[in-house]
């Protein structure tokens, strides 16, 4: 069963435009949600997690349990934001499994 859905494979915006990368999840328990980013030729790294409720590199994400969403937002995109973004769901605290969405490639044009 698909646990994490990222409907957009590619999102292209111009520099300075707002960005929203969508993520929906399916899990009946208490989810831990994350956004991971993979810049070109680099390994995956954590961008932010819903528990910390912080803003990283201008990005924020709010967990909406009613809509089972965890969309990633940034008011003004920068060229250096161009990367692959993966939404991830962690379940089963004993094993701490992570499930990833299919990813969205963000392309910020000058």
Partner 1 sequence: GAVVSQHPSWVICKSGTSVKIECRSLDFQATTMFWYRQFPKQSLMLMATSNEGSKATYEQGVEKDKFLINHASLTLSTLTVTSAHPEDSSFYICSARAPDTGELFFGEGSRLTVL
Q: Which residues bind partner 1 (CB under 8 A)?
A: 32, 34, 36, 43-46, 49, 86, 88, 90, 95-103
| DSSP-derived secondary structure letter, 3 | -
Q: Whole-number minimum distance, CB 75 to partner 1, in Å?
A: 26
In the complex with partner 1, the residue whose CB is nearer, 31 or 103, is: 103
Integer Cα distance of 75 and 9 in angstroms: 20
Integer Cα distance of 57 and 27 in angstroms: 28
In the complex with partner 1, the residue whose CB is nearer, 104 or 108, is: 104
């Amino acid at each position: 069963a698909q646990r994490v859905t990222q409907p957009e494979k590619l999102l292209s915006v111009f520099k300075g435009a707002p960005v929203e990368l969508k993520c929906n999840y399916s899990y009946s328990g208490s989810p831990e949600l994350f956004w991971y980013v993979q810049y070109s030729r680099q390994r995956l790294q954590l961008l932010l997690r819903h528990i910390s409720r912080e803003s990283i590199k201008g990005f924020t994400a709010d967990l909406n349990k009613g809509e089972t969403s965890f969309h990633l937002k940034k008011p003004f995109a920068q060229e250096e934001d161009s990367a692959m973004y993966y939404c991830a769901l962690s379940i089963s605290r004993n094993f701490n499994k992570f499930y990833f969405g299919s990813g969205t490639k963000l392309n910020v044009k000058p």
